[in-house]
Amino acid sequence: MKTQENGFTIIELLVALLLAAIVTTAAMALYTTQHKQLLVQDEVSDMQSNIRAATTELANRVRMAGYKLPDFLTAIEASNTNPDTITITFDAGPANDIQIEHDMPQPSSELRCDGHSLEGIVDNDWLYIYDPFTKTGEFFLATQIQYSSSNIQHNTMSLSKRYPTGSKLLKIDRLKYYIDQSDPNHPCLMKKRGGDAAQVYADNITGLNFSYVLSSGVVVDAPPICDMVREVIITVNARNDKMDDEFQNTYRFRVLTTSVRVRNLGVN
């Protein structure tokens, strides 16, 4: 009696392998495409987050420019450098009505503020001291705050002169923003506070531009007099982190522009 054995022919196996290879190749291509799109979307999301953070920071600081500043301090210092640089100065508080109550024997002497609360300042704050009689002053690093005796030490730097009784102390922020292009593959928005080292605030920021609307309505790249500024137009350019050879311009770019009306300039 003959038995019949069922199986696949060589041709059938080859066809099955071919179909499996086609399906696998298609699946891998779909996975690769989707994975790349996911990575691109992550980079685009990061780029949008960076540009929003940079623009919000700059807008908030511009609004504060000039707040409670002595008349002889400049609220906005503009540099039309393409990309631009801006330095913004304002009273950061909460230190109020602090003054020295004893003449300084030497420029390196401690600042004796008898009877004044120093609770608004801490060690390593940058402070501003100014002489209201000569309308002069300077920034310095307060290395140690002695709350019980109301004394301020500045051991790492002497002042330029001996300040007299009645000289005022302010906690003033002086913030400089600029683009660091030392690494062309990784430009960054930098933030520098006082005499501290500059820190990266936002990655992959390629452009920074400021335009200033004056009280006359004229728009300039750098104001001749700070108190004439009524509005600042901020434009920030950003790109994604990595080049994409399949994209027309190798990088994806975003531009965000916002307009900020200043609140503390030209109020008198």
Which residue has 């994975």 as its token pair?
35
- 188 plus 249 within the same structural domain: yes
- 134 plus 162 within the same structural domain: yes
pLDDT value at position 120?
A: 87
- 164 plus 125 within the same structural domain: yes
- 60 plus 189 within the same structural domain: yes
pLDDT value at position 77?
A: 95
The domain boundary, picked from 112, 137, 170, lies at 170
Q: Which regions in the chain score pLDDT beneath 50?
A: none
pLDDT value at position 235?
A: 98
- 239 plus 194 within the same structural domain: yes
- 99 plus 71 within the same structural domain: no
Please indicate, yes or no, if residue 26 is contained in any of the structural domains. no
The domain tally of the chain equals: 2
- 161 plus 52 within the same structural domain: no
Cα(169)–Cα(138) distance, integer angstroms: 10
Please indicate, yes or no, if residue 33 is contained in any of the structural domains. no
- Confidence (pTM): 0.80
Q: Containing domain of residue 42, as a range? A: 38-86+177-261
Cα(248)–Cα(5) distance, integer angstroms: 60
